[in-house]
A and B are shown apart, each in its own frame.
Chain A
Amino acid sequence: EIVLTQSPGTLSLSPGERATLSCRASQSISSSYVAWYQQKPGQAPRLLIYVASRRATGIPDRFSGSGSGTDFTLTISRLEPEDFAVYYCQQYGSSPKLTFGGGTKVEIK
């Protein structure tokens, strides 16, 4: 079973700062099937990144994804007020077919 571990659990930053979010897989996974989502309170998740590094339609270029193998990263270059939210990574592959990480909350410091 592939487990995705996200760290840190909570990231306390100020607007304008850089955010670096980690997603580590318990075994090597295909970067073709790694995605990142943003979720705000009371809302459904929104796709940010797919294929580990491709931005979804309409996503600002301050969001970027990278990584391969077991280590993947979501970077927000300069936090805007609307970026404070919870972020999830997701993979598709071995059983269970689809898994999500536990999430990283980016909060205002």
Chain B
Amino acid sequence: QVQLQESGPGLVKPSETLPLTCTVSGGSVSGVSYYWSWIRQPPGKGLEWIGYIYSSANANYNPSLKSRVTISLDTSKNQFSLRLMSVTAADTAVYYCARLFTSWMFFDSWGQGTLVTVSS
């Protein structure tokens, strides 16, 4: 059974870059059946899709975040990563990595989530 685990700093300063990594075990980030995604949830609020990646050169981002987001894939480490630039307090959220099943485009596996706070 696939497992996903987020890692990264719990605190990021305003205007800096938020870096997170998702390590996948029990499955491979290579292949065509799944896309690898980031989703966030501000405290007490709903879910917001950030973007997904499939193969190292193909990514798709939420237009509202596109100018600040980069998602990358490291098949050698079976990981994928998120970089969100120029963060503000509005980027404070629980960040989830998740696997997107491409046949029907639903998220079938999620990490536990990691809280990232943007504050000086």
Contact = CB atoms under 8 A, between A and B. Distances in A.
B26 interface: no
A35 B113 contact: no
Contact of A97 (B60, B107, B110): B60
Interface in B48-62: 48-49, 52, 60, 62
A32 B110 CA distance: 21
A13 interface: no
Given A32-B104, A33-B105, A100 B49 contact: yes
Interface residues of A, number: 25
A100 B48 contact: yes
B95 to A, nearest CB: 11
Interface string A44-80: 1111001100001000000000000000000000000
Given A44-B112, A45-B110, A92 B46 contact: no
Interface of A: 1, 32-33, 35, 37, 43-47, 50-51, 56, 88, 90, 92, 95-103
Smallest CB-CB A-B distances: 7 pairs: A92-B105, A44-B110, A35-B106, A98-B49, A100-B47, A50-B106, A33-B105
